Structure 1
Amino acid sequence: MQANKHITSTQNPLIKKVLLLKEKSRERKKTGLFILEGLRELQIASNAGYDIDTILFCEGILENSSEIQTFSSDQLISVTLDIYKKLAYRDTTEGIIAILKSKNHELSSLKFENKNPLVLIAEAPEKPGNIGALLRTADAANLDAVLIANPKTDLYNPNIIRSSVGCIFSRNVKMGSTTEIISYLKKEGFQIFCAALSASKDYTTVDFNESTAIVVGTEHSGLSEEWLNNSAQNIIIPMEGEIDSMNVSVSAAILIFEAKRQRKLNK
């Protein structure tokens, strides 16, 4: 396989750069670059129009060399097994780590193709695993957008990319403050449904057919008063056990697919 060059030392400046991008959110924000690992994730990002800066690969691990040959040889750099193990963050690996350029996730860049969009909003999510799971749900339902209000975690955290299985690239993800997002939703005529315990209706009794924003908070603290004060209707998933909450990604999936079910019936 042709590559631009071969790196054998962990002291190589490019290897040090990859480690910084892997470990430091500040470095990702400063450079506008991030890393991902895995051929499937790289293909999804490439198909979604992400610019690829560099692809590092280890021939001793790479199972399907023909797939990587679709990329320019100028982008390809081979590394030794020892270097790859130092860079890799996944337990199971495919021998590919890439550096890509991040995209614009400002709310002002949000555009919709559908007349009555369905969007998911997550306020202040912190756990990368939950964010990744929300993005996978959004991809499964083909949502029009995912909006993260008051973000606490860098969107290109390697653990978010890993847990989303690349869905971070296939979805329309934007970020902003709670105030900014509420203002945007009202301007665009969205009905806001907040998942909350107080003053709530059974989620199956509300109409999700118009432009709709489903809003979920953290499992620990729920949604802020600002969201609850601007909700058209708080909604709840009735529970029959001892606890009154579920994992946020599970709750979001239930609400989203009820909205999808209603919309399918009304086509």
Structure 2
Amino acid sequence: MSKIKHLSSLQNSLIKKVLLLKDKSRERKKAALFVVEGQRELELALKGGYIISTLFFEPSLSLEASLDKYNTVKEVISVSKEVYQKIAYRGTTEGIVALVESKNNTLENLKLKNKTPLILIAEAPEKPGNIGALLRTADAANLDAVLIANPKTDLYNPNIIRSSVGCVFTVPIAMANTSEIISFLNTKKIDIYCAALTASVNYTNVDYTKATAIAVGTEATGLTDTWLNASKKNIIIPMEGEIDSMNVSVSASILIFEAKRQRLTS
């Protein structure tokens, strides 16, 4: 591990940089860096092949001995409690914040290892909490990939990292526009099934054992016609109450685990 420095000034240029990266998507994209807080999240980032550029720790909250796992980090900095409270964004904390190098989450960089992949597609998700929940489902189901079409939110938004409990680092993710993703799926002969309210069949009456992509839209408007026209079949979860839709992450979980069930029993 590199020699540990110490910072106690809130006016330090590096601390100001952390605050900008935490709050501004534009700054994250420009610097190709983002902020991660917490031992578990950072361990998952390392496991996922991410590079930690700078590690900040507050000695009274984190044991210096536990820093041994970060021996590849370029720069390690001890900070005062005041500085740590300024750069941390969680109410409960473990005393560790880091700057991590972004990955290029393009379709060109996505490698599908399974010959019959199971993929989740989310079109234009906006709420970080929903995106985080979708990524937790993807991790739990060990999906081959999550594709985000027409993204509205920066993937490295701190709230996505927090709500995904680090699953943003454990799942292969690519972001592109709808036409690019449909072309990618067609080229690889991956069947598309769209969650939709109209012209749909019961989600249990579809065969997901072949190469499959399940697409979900926003709760407000659902999937666009471009997706519905590209769908092999539209699928629906029967609703027995007064409303006709559920939270997108809940719906995605039901559909994904039906696909998993079929694959385990086929």
**TM-score, length of structure 2 as denominator length:** 0.97
Q: Which residue identity does 2:6 align to in structure 1?
A: H
Partner amino acid, structure 1, of 2:187: K
Contact 1:7–1:79 (CA under 8 A) maintained in structure 2: yes
Contact 2:116 2:211 in 1 (8 A): yes
Q: CA offset at residue 113 of structure 1?
A: 1.0
Secondary structure of 2:153's aligned partner: coil
Contact 1:4–1:74, Cα closer than 8 Å, also in 2: no
Which range moves more in the overlay, 100-109 or 155-164? 100-109
Determine whether 1:99 maps to 2:99: yes
Which residue identity is paired with 1:85? Q
Report the Cα distance in structure 2 between the residues aligned to 1:204 and 1:157, rounded to whole angstroms: 35
Report the Cα offset of residue 2 of structure 1: 8.5
Distance 1:228 1:17 in 2: 43
Structure 2 match to 1:75: 75
Note the alpha carbon deviations across 1:149-187, whole angstroms, 9 max, x for none. 000000000000000000000100000000000011111
> Which residue does the alignment assign to 2:254?
254
Q: Give the C-alpha shift of residue 48 in structure 1.
A: 1.1
Separation of aligned partners in 2, 1:183 and 1:71: 40
CA offsets, 1:66-112, max 9 Å, x none? 32222237521010111111111111111000001001101111111
1:166 and 1:56 mapped to 2: Cα distance?
Answer: 18
Match of 1:69, SS?
A: helix
Q: How does 1:189-200 map to 2 (within 5 A)?
A: 189-200=189-200
Q: CA separation in 2, counterparts of 1:169 and 1:99?
A: 14
* Distance in 1 of aligned mates of 2:243 and 2:69: 51
Note the residue ranges of structure 1 that are not aligned, 5 or more in a row.
Answer: none
Give 1:161's aligned residue.
Answer: 161
CA distance in 1, matches of 2:74, 2:209: 49
Equivalent-residue separation in structure 2 for 1:211 and 1:146 (angstroms)? 14
Q: Output the amino acid matched with 1:67.
A: S
Superposition map of 1:226-265 within 5 A: 226-265=226-265
- Deviation per residue, 1:104-123 (Å, 9 max, x gap): 10111111111100000000
Aligned to 2:24: 24
Write out per-residue CA displacement over residues 34-76 of structure 1, whole angstroms, 9 at most, x where no aligned residue: 01000000001011111110000001222x4332222237521
SS in 2 for 1:235: strand
Task: Tell me how far apart the structure 2 counterparts of residues 158 and 74 of structure 1 sit (CA, whole Å).
Answer: 22
1:122 and 1:66 mapped to 2: Cα distance? 41
Question: Are the equivalent residues in 2 in contact too, given 1:194–1:228 (CA < 8 A)?
Answer: yes
CA distance in 1, matches of 2:69, 2:161: 22
The TM-score, its normalising length taken from structure 1, stands at 0.97
Aligned AA (1:134)? L
Tell me the SS of whatever aligns to 1:183: helix
- Tell me the residue number matched to 2:108: 108
Aligned to 2:172: 172
Moved more, 172-181 or 71-80: 71-80
The structural deviation recorded for 1:3 is 5.1
Q: Secondary structure at the match of 1:53?
A: strand
The equivalent residue for 2:65 is 66
- Find the aligned partners of 1:70 and 1:233 in 2 and give their Cα distance: 48
Percent identical residues: 63
- Which runs of 4 or more aligned residues in structure 1 lie more than 6 Å from their structure 2 counterparts after TM superposition? none
Separation in structure 1 between the aligned mates of residue 55 and residue 168 of structure 2, nearest angstrom: 19
CA distance in 2, matches of 1:46, 1:181: 28
Paired residue type of 1:22: K
Count of residue correspondences: 265
